Amino acid sequence: MRLTLYFLFLIALQGAVSALLPANLGGPDLFLLTAVALALRLGPVPSLLVAYTLGLVQDVLGHGYFGLHAAGLAGGVLLIHGLRGLLMSSPILREGLGLGLAIVGQWLSFLVLTYWLRDGLVTVSSLTGVLPLEALLTFVAYAVLRPVLNWTFGEIRDSSEVMF
C-alpha cells in the first residue's frame, strides 16, 4: 500500500511542480530521486530495472522522446553502482553523493543519446541554464522528501548487506 501511495504522490507532485514552474525552467526530477533511493537500497540489477521502468513511466507521462528518461535514469543508477565503493559511510553524504552521481550519469546519458540521435536534445543553453537549476531543485526536493522516501522504502542498509 505504501508503494501505491508513494507513486500516486510522486506523479501528482511532479505534475504539480512542472505546472507551477515556467516551461523553460527544469523542476526537480522526482523520478530520479526515487531511482536513487532504490539504488541505495537494492542491488545493481533490480535497481537498474526499476530505474529504467520509472523512466519509461516518466516518458509516457509526456516528457519528450520515449525512452530518453528511461536511459537517463538507468545511466544515473549505473554510475551510482559503478562508484558505490567510493560512497561514504555517512547516510547523508552517501545519499547526497549518490544523488550527485545520478544527476551526472543522467546527463551523460542524455549527451550520448543526443550525439547518437543527431538531435538537439542537449544544448549548451540546457547545460548552463536547465541543468544547474534542476540539480539544485532536486537536492532541495531530496532534503524535503527524505522522510517520505525512508517511510516508503525503509532505511538504507550498509552497502555490504545489499545483494545483487
Q: Give the pLDDT score at 46.
A: 93
Is 84 buried (19+), middle (13-18) or exposed (0-12) by CB count in 10 A? middle
Q: Are 68 and 107 in contact (CB under 8 A)?
A: no
Q: Give the pLDDT score at 18.
A: 79
Between 30 and 114, residue with greater pLDDT: 30
Q: Give the pLDDT score at 159.
A: 53
Q: Are 94 and 155 in contact (CB under 8 A)?
A: no
Q: Give the pLDDT score at 2.
A: 86
Q: Are 113 and 121 in contact (CB under 8 A)?
A: yes
Arithmetic mean of pLDDT, 115-141:
78
pLDDT in tens, 103-122: 888 888 888 888 777 777 77
pLDDT in tens, 35-92: 999 988 888 899 999 999 999 988 888 766 788 889 999 999 998 888 776 665 666 6
Q: Are 113 and 68 in contact (CB under 8 A)?
A: yes
Helix axes 30-39, 91-117, angle to 10 degrees: 120
Write out the three cell numbers for 17: 511542480
The torsion of the CA quartet 95, 17, 55, 57, rounded to 10 degrees, works out to 130
Write out the three cell numbers for 33: 530521486
Q: Give the pLDDT score at 24.
A: 65
Dist CA 49 CA 67 (whole Å): 13
Instruction: Enumerate residues 6+ apart whose C-beta is below 8 A from 24.
Output: 129, 130
Share of the chain above pLDDT 90, in %: 14
User: In which residue are the cell numbers 552521481 written?
Assistant: 101
Dist CA 83 CA 98 (whole Å): 9
pLDDT for residue 93 is more than 80: no
Tell me, what DSSP letter sits at residue 25? S
